[in-house]
Chains A and B, each alone.
Chain A
């Protein structure tokens, strides 16, 4: 319910616009009510024979002038009110986007991206509709409806009361059917989701289907699901197809009442023929507001529900944020220390990391190895605070990293993640990113170090090649090297690389590793890799298994240990020797 305050700033910001819009809307409604009066006068004058051509022309001209005024004010309210709703749309979307960017990795792990996307598009659109057309229609219905009823009552109270007889039915009918339609609509939506999920699953598992020649069976399941969806739609239309014509039926019954009772009154001279005609016109004016009430309530309800959903996201505080009075050092040395670090994703879940302790001096290199799922990536994710340890501390230059300003901390770290992520811009933009310095010299160096230069010549546009969403036009190795260039371009004192050469061939991998070795002593470097050659030169190497350090030391130490590290090393040696031979 408090979610309405989300809209407040926009209403305040646009208060004059809204004021002008609402005034125009009311003026339009009132002017619209005058037209039936003019028709009444004209008809009355015609039936009493007391009218000249000039008078008639006068009436016609009044109407044209009114029509023009109405058009003008209509434009004004549409522009003002619908414009405001567009402004609300823009503002809320910006707010949502901005807020999402502050949320931590854990949040995105819990929330599916499809769900967030639905918020960004559907919900915001619902809110726009509710704040735009919804409010307009509500206002219209109230103003126009009340005024028209007043005018009708002014002509004849009894007749007005008779005409209003079907009204309660309309209101009750709307409520009854809206509820029913809402429920069936939900069922249609559920059937649609089921079908979407089925299609998604079949396309995602297409290889299994093909491998088992299960296309026909899969088609049959799809057909059944689609049929179910059709059935649900037909169930809905049985209500909706009844509701809309029924509303029309009720309004037409109103007209029949006017025709009969109003006609009687006219015959008995209680009201003039002009009144009678005007009455019909007024009824026409309130028909729409009456029929729209169901639609409007629906629109407003959906808008409110969407607003609540958006608000829930906006109210989610980032789990990881800067502390008050955060440290913002201009310069850090780059000493990294883990003290008895323990980590699990859920408080009742299993430990992903247990009892991790090490100390890495500025300018040193550390390698981390271990079988898949041993916690390597999780460990390095703790350094830039993608997650916070469940227990123990991570220290930078002797201070707990949670004491640093988050931005400052992350500014000290160049991070290469396991899955290279590219944005839909050019290669250059992907390397220097949006805040990057455009120094060509540094850029060329980074590209050389990432062994990217030769690849770039393959693209006619070179650095200005557009890579498409998520870098769709590039191979895995190309994406990885672009991400490496991005990390190497940064002048941060700490460099963290998660499996940097997993997707490139051995020779390229060696070149990249050689380039990284060149910058040792200038930076503190942590390299995670399943290739021993990428870590063997490190000052210290951690070998992880099931979240624990099972061995640590230099290459020579670990070879002597003859455990996981030594085995993997030998295996890879054989592989490479065979290839070289």
Chain B
């Protein structure tokens, strides 16, 4: 229908460069290579045990159950064959012979017992080794994924704010969780299966060749067909598999789009048309699904059929050998077992190819992000190459005290040609308070975003102690500022975690002081488990005023030099409002503060007020100066007072 519906993501990954990806994945397995090696050794041992089972059966049959041609002396063989034949043909009924036969029988049963015991030992050993192999492999695999996941998470966190505006949160979460999970089988079952299957194939081939090379070669007649079928299958299956993934991704998008746009769909009576196009898409998915069914419905039976054909060849060629006494019955039986074993790994390998493809597609998407280098602090991230770089791009250590903070002719636009801030200049001295006033949409919040360095200005510079901010590492800089917003974001976790931000150096005494200064003590007292009370998602068990108080406490903990305050616009009751004001006053003491003031009463006490309108400073000065101006601020003030 539509060749490109806008699902860019899945399509880009049409071609995967398997080897390149595996090479990139390799370093992550390095710390666990000993474990992986051990696990592979165990796989080898298990496979050898697997291989030995039919051999034990063969020996049991040939030596004890139906001893025929392979027995050491021909006499016993003849005796034996006769003894068996008598049951069917009753030819010889010699007494001494029968006594002799009794003795032989006892010996044979003794031998059989030993063979069975050996068989049981192998089986139990196999069980134990299998268990340990699974455990070790899972541990190594999980740890590799764990490392990859934490690396990816840390990497994403370091990327710039623009990266986060470009990429929806849902997609990033999928990368860090589901895509990593997709590689689970690659590191657990695939590696071990690959070794197991290859060893099995090689092992069986060798054993069969050693047992009887003529018979082995005869049964290998089917191999070219098996290989041909496997290759064709894995190629076709891969294409269909990819197509299926794209279709499912489209179906998912369509579902989420329909859920998101349900109002529009219902209001514009689009249900039928939307359903029809969904049904068409769903039917395409069905058709691709049927192609997949078709492909595997051909492959599996073909492989099984070739397996039976191989057995038939063994029966015929081996049977002739038995008749000509060149092959023992035990060899024949063992061969039948081995042939059956031979076909399983081939089928497995062809099937696992799909999982491998899936894992690699996920790996590709993960590396797409790991290769993203739009970092917050690019210089910090290229540690090695920074040595070769000229001094100008190196970062300077952050000054220990903030003496002044200034904007110099700063302009900024989120989208080209839509300027949000134009030519902003101002300066704040240490310990002073600057208020930014202005109507909604005048650029106040954007200005704040520039100060936090979520974005860098398009023109002009931000200066700290007269040095361009870009010369300091963002992380250093940010650990010296604190942001108090109108709707503070609290993480699910305990109240203590939310306040301390994982800083372990805060003592209880210090924390109590902070709680006191930030007027949070009463919230803690109200909570059933005090500081260890768990805040649910979005901290819905707190009022918005209480959330703000907690965020003030959080600001205290980081003991910042610069405070950024995005004042509340929503309604808060008078008592809480008073508590917030008091807590803020405590926080602002001896600290440089920049306030985005939505109510002019907050701005009034500032040392300096700048008034923004449509991204430009239209007025600046103290409250009294601005009132004297009788301009914009004056009118706003009058209106508020009215």
Using a CB–CB cutoff of 8 Å, the interface residues on chain A facing chain B are 35, 38-39, 42-43, 46-49, 51, 53, 56-57, 59-61, 63-64, 66-68, 70-72, 74-75, 78-79, 82-83, 86-87, 89-90, 93-94, 97-98, 100-103, 105, 108, 113, 116-117, 120-121, 192, 195-197, 199-223, 226-227, 229-230, 233-234, 237-238, 240-242, 244-246, 248-249, 252-253, 255-256, 259-260, 263-264, 266-269, 273, 276-277, 280-281, 284, 384, 386, 407, 410-411, 413, 415, 417, 421, 423-425, 433-435, 466-470, 475, 486, 490, 567, 570-572, 574-575, 578-579
Contact A421 B261 (CB under 8 A): yes
Residues of chain A lying within 8 A (CB to CB) of residue B150: 219, 222-223, 226
| B 469-504 contacts with A by CB, 8 A | 474-476, 478-479, 481-483, 488-489, 491-493, 501-503
Indicate whether B227 reaches chain A with its CB closer than 8 angstroms: no
Residues of chain B lying within 8 A (CB to CB) of residue A386: 263, 266-267
In the assembled complex, the CB of A571 is this many whole angstroms from the nearest CB of chain B, namely 6
Contact B119 A256 (CB under 8 A): yes
Q: Known contacts A39-B311, A578-B632; is A571 also within 8 Å of B639 by CB?
A: yes
Interface centre among A46, A66, A410 (most CB of B within 10 A): A46
Indicate whether B253 reaches chain A with its CB closer than 8 angstroms: yes
Expressed in whole angstroms, the Cα–Cα distance for A259 and B265 within the complex equals 69
Minimal Cβ-Cβ distance residue in B for A381: B263
Contact B316 A56 (CB under 8 A): yes
In the assembled complex, the CB of A135 is this many whole angstroms from the nearest CB of chain B, namely 14
Indicate whether B217 reaches chain A with its CB closer than 8 angstroms: no
Expressed in whole angstroms, the Cα–Cα distance for A415 and B2 within the complex equals 27
Contact B618 A578 (CB under 8 A): yes
Indicate whether B225 reaches chain A with its CB closer than 8 angstroms: no
Residues of chain A lying within 8 A (CB to CB) of residue B66: 47, 266, 273, 276
Residue-wise interface mask of B (364-403) relative to A, using a CB-CB cutoff of 8 A (1 in contact, 0 not): 0000000000001000000000000000000000000000
| B 17-73 contacts with A by CB, 8 A | 53, 57, 60-61, 64-66, 68
Q: Known contacts A215-B475, A260-B116; is A79 also within 8 Å of B297 by CB?
A: yes
Which of B131, B273, B483, B635 contacts A212, CB < 8 Å? B483
Where chain A touches its partner, the secondary structure class is: helix
User: Which listed segment binds A: B194-202, B231-239, B274-282, B575-583?
Assistant: B274-282
In the assembled complex, the CB of A349 is this many whole angstroms from the nearest CB of chain B, namely 15
Contact B173 A203 (CB under 8 A): yes
Expressed in whole angstroms, the Cα–Cα distance for A43 and B481 within the complex equals 87
User: Which listed segment binds A: B151-159, B521-529, B542-550, B588-596?
Assistant: B151-159
Lowest 3 CB-CB distances: which A-B pairs, in order? A217-B502, A434-B273, A241-B134
In the assembled complex, the CB of B444 is this many whole angstroms from the nearest CB of chain A, namely 13
Q: Known contacts A47-B84, A259-B60, A466-B4; is A53 also within 8 Å of B315 by CB?
A: no
Expressed in whole angstroms, the Cα–Cα distance for A56 and B47 within the complex equals 33
Contact A470 B257 (CB under 8 A): yes
Which of A56, A57, A218, A264 contacts B157, CB < 8 Å? A218
Which of B108, B138, B161, B309 contacts A64, CB < 8 Å? B309
Which of B135, B478, B631 contacts A238, CB < 8 Å? B135
Expressed in whole angstroms, the Cα–Cα distance for A227 and B146 within the complex equals 7
Residues of chain A lying within 8 A (CB to CB) of residue B278: 94, 97
Taking A39-B311, A86-B293, A384-B267 as given, write out 9 further A-B residue pairs in contact, using a Cβ cutoff of 8 Å, ordered by the A residue number.
A78-B293, A97-B255, A202-B491, A205-B489, A206-B164, A222-B153, A230-B143, A237-B138, A245-B130
Residues of chain B lying within 8 A (CB to CB) of residue A253: 120, 123
Which of A61, A217, A226, A277 contacts B501, CB < 8 Å? A217
In the assembled complex, the CB of A485 is this many whole angstroms from the nearest CB of chain B, namely 13
Expressed in whole angstroms, the Cα–Cα distance for A212 and B558 within the complex equals 8
Which of A98, A113, A202 contacts B256, CB < 8 Å? A113
Which of A67, A215, A466 contacts B312, CB < 8 Å? A67
Residues of chain B lying within 8 A (CB to CB) of residue A75: 297-298, 301
Indicate whether B554 reaches chain A with its CB closer than 8 angstroms: yes
Residues of chain A lying within 8 A (CB to CB) of residue B271: 98, 101-102
Minimal Cβ-Cβ distance residue in B for A424: B6
Q: Known contacts A56-B316, A78-B296, A79-B297; is A196 also within 8 Å of B173 by CB?
A: yes
19 A-B contact pairs sorted by A residue (CB < 8 Å): A49-B323, A60-B312, A74-B304, A90-B285, A205-B489, A207-B161, A210-B474, A213-B558, A215-B158, A217-B502, A219-B153, A249-B124, A256-B116, A259-B57, A263-B115, A263-B116, A267-B109, A424-B257, A467-B6
In the assembled complex, the CB of B471 is this many whole angstroms from the nearest CB of chain A, namely 17
Expressed in whole angstroms, the Cα–Cα distance for A42 and B170 within the complex equals 63
Contact A425 B329 (CB under 8 A): no
User: Which listed segment binds A: B208-216, B332-340, B347-355, B510-518?
Assistant: B332-340
Indicate whether B87 reaches chain A with its CB closer than 8 angstroms: yes
Expressed in whole angstroms, the Cα–Cα distance for A260 and B7 within the complex equals 62
Indicate whether B463 reaches chain A with its CB closer than 8 angstroms: no
Expressed in whole angstroms, the Cα–Cα distance for A47 and B81 within the complex equals 8
Minimal Cβ-Cβ distance residue in A for B481: A211
Contact A248 B130 (CB under 8 A): yes
Expressed in whole angstroms, the Cα–Cα distance for A475 and B415 within the complex equals 8
Residues of chain A lying within 8 A (CB to CB) of residue B319: 42, 46, 51, 56, 59-60
Which of B146, B248, B491, B493 contacts A230, CB < 8 Å? B146
Contact B302 A71 (CB under 8 A): yes
Contact A117 B255 (CB under 8 A): yes
Residues of chain B lying within 8 A (CB to CB) of residue A233: 138, 142
Contact B256 A575 (CB under 8 A): no
* Contact-residue bracket for chain B: 35 or more
Contact A468 B8 (CB under 8 A): yes
Contact B138 A101 (CB under 8 A): no
In the assembled complex, the CB of B567 is this many whole angstroms from the nearest CB of chain A, namely 16
| B 287-301 contacts with A by CB, 8 A | 289-290, 293-294, 296-298, 300-301
Which of B65, B131, B267 contacts A241, CB < 8 Å? B131
Residues of chain B lying within 8 A (CB to CB) of residue A192: 177, 181
Residues of chain B lying within 8 A (CB to CB) of residue A229: 146
Contact A87 B270 (CB under 8 A): no
Indicate whether B622 reaches chain A with its CB closer than 8 angstroms: no
Which of A59, A223, A260, A466 contacts B315, CB < 8 Å? A59
Expressed in whole angstroms, the Cα–Cα distance for A39 and B336 within the complex equals 9
Residues of chain A lying within 8 A (CB to CB) of residue B308: 35, 63-64, 66-67, 70
Q: Known contacts A43-B332, A94-B282, A424-B257; is A234 also within 8 Å of B169 by CB?
A: no
Which of B5, B261, B296, B501 contacts A214, CB < 8 Å? B501
Which of B109, B269, B297, B415 contacts A435, CB < 8 Å? B269
Contact A200 B65 (CB under 8 A): no
Residues of chain A lying within 8 A (CB to CB) of residue B336: 39, 277, 281
Minimal Cβ-Cβ distance residue in B for A415: B267
Indicate whether B252 reaches chain A with its CB closer than 8 angstroms: yes
Contact A74 B376 (CB under 8 A): no
Expressed in whole angstroms, the Cα–Cα distance for A51 and B315 within the complex equals 12
Residues of chain A lying within 8 A (CB to CB) of residue B256: 113, 117
Expressed in whole angstroms, the Cα–Cα distance for A407 and B268 within the complex equals 9
Minimal Cβ-Cβ distance residue in A for B151: A219
Q: Known contacts A47-B84, A410-B267; is A203 also within 8 Å of B127 by CB?
A: no
In the assembled complex, the CB of A466 is this many whole angstroms from the nearest CB of chain B, namely 5
Minimal Cβ-Cβ distance residue in A for B504: A217
Interface centre among A223, A226, A246 (most CB of B within 10 A): A226
Residues of chain A lying within 8 A (CB to CB) of residue B5: 424-425, 466
Expressed in whole angstroms, the Cα–Cα distance for A493 and B566 within the complex equals 44
Residues of chain B lying within 8 A (CB to CB) of residue A280: 57, 333, 337
Contact A434 B277 (CB under 8 A): yes
Residues of chain B lying within 8 A (CB to CB) of residue A433: 268, 270, 273
Indicate whether B191 reaches chain A with its CB closer than 8 angstroms: no
Expressed in whole angstroms, the Cα–Cα distance for A83 and B120 within the complex equals 43
Contact A93 B251 (CB under 8 A): yes
Which of A244, A268, A425, A575 contacts B2, CB < 8 Å? A425
Contact B329 A43 (CB under 8 A): yes
Residue-wise interface mask of B (93-119) relative to A, using a CB-CB cutoff of 8 A (1 in contact, 0 not): 000000000000100110011011001
Which of A82, A102, A210, A246 contacts B454, CB < 8 Å? A210
